[in-house]
Amino acid sequence: MNKLLITSAVTIALSMSACSEQKTPEQLIASANNYSEQGKFADAIIDFKNAVRAAPKNANARLGLGRAYLNQGNYISAEKELERAITLGANFAEVAPLMAQVKTRLDKFSDIEQLVKASEDLKDQDYLVVLTYAGISALSTGKITKAQDYFSQAITIDEAAKYSQLAIAYLLYSERDFAEGLTEVTSILAANNDFTEAKLLQGYLHFASKAFIDASQDFAEYITRYPLDYNAQFFQVNTLLKAQQFKQADKLTNKLLKIFKKSPLALQYKSQIEYQDGNYMEAREFASQAVGLDESFVIAKMVAGVSSYKLDELEQAYDYLIGLEDMLPVTHPINVILLSIKVELGHTDGLTKSVEKLKALKDSDSDTYLLQITSNELMKAGDYASAQALLDKAVEISPQSAAIKVQHGALLLSQKDLSGVKSLEQALKIDPSLHETEFALARQYLTGNEVSKAQAIADKWLATEVYQVSGHILSGMIASKHEDVVEAESFFKKALELDANNISALYNLASVYEYKEEIEHAITSYEKVIILNPNHYGAIRRYSALHVKQGDNAQVISFLSALHDQTKLTATNTPKNLVIGLAQILSISGEVNAAIELLKSIKQEKNLPVRYWSVLATTYAMNKQYSDVLTTYEKAIKANPKSYALVVGYIGALEQQRKYSEALILTLKANQDFPDDDNLMTTLAYLELANNNLIAAKKQLDVLKTKGISNFLAVKTEAIIAMSESDYDLAISLYEELY
CA distance 592 to 625: 11
- Cα dihedral sign, 598-603-607-608: positive
What pLDDT is attached to residue 362? 60
Stretch 588-613: mean pLDDT: 90
The pLDDT assigned to 724 comes to: 87
What pLDDT sits at residue 10? 40
Q: What is the pLDDT of residues 86-105, one digit of tens each?
A: 999 999 999 999 999 999 99
Residue of 126 and 367 predicted with greater confidence: 126
Instruction: Report the predicted TM-score, pTM, of the whole model to 2 decimal places.
Output: 0.57
Residues 452-468 have pLDDT tens digits of 999 999 999 999 988 99
What pLDDT score was predicted for residue 710?
87
In the predicted structure, residue 542 carries a pLDDT above the cut 80? yes
- Tens of pLDDT along 296-346? 999 999 999 989 988 888 889 889 998 888 787 766 777 777 777 776 676
Angle at 43 between CA 40 and CA 47, to 5 degrees: 130
Share of the chain above pLDDT 90, in %: 62
pLDDT band at 369 (very low <50, low <70, confident <90, very high): low
Q: What gap in Å lies between CA 347 and CA 530, rounded to an integer?
A: 36
pLDDT, position 365? 54
Min mean pLDDT across 36-40, 263-267, 316-320, 342-346 is at: 342-346
Reported as a single tens digit per residue, the pLDDT across 423-435 is 888 878 888 887 8
Q: Residue 441: which pLDDT band, with cuts at 50, 70 and 90?
A: confident
The residue with greater pLDDT, 247 or 375, is 247
* Mean pLDDT value across the chain: 87
Q: Which residues contact 131 (CB under 8 A, 6 or more apart)?
A: 116, 150, 151, 153, 154, 157, 167
Residues 34 and 204: their CA atoms lie apart, in Å, by 33
Long-range contacts of 684-691 (CB under 8 A, 24+ apart): 685/713, 685/714, 685/717, 686/713, 686/714, 686/716, 686/717, 687/651, 687/655, 687/660, 687/663, 688/664, 689/717, 689/720, 689/721, 690/655, 690/660, 690/663, 690/664, 691/660, 691/661, 691/664
The reported pLDDT for the residue numbered 361 is 61
DSSP 24: P
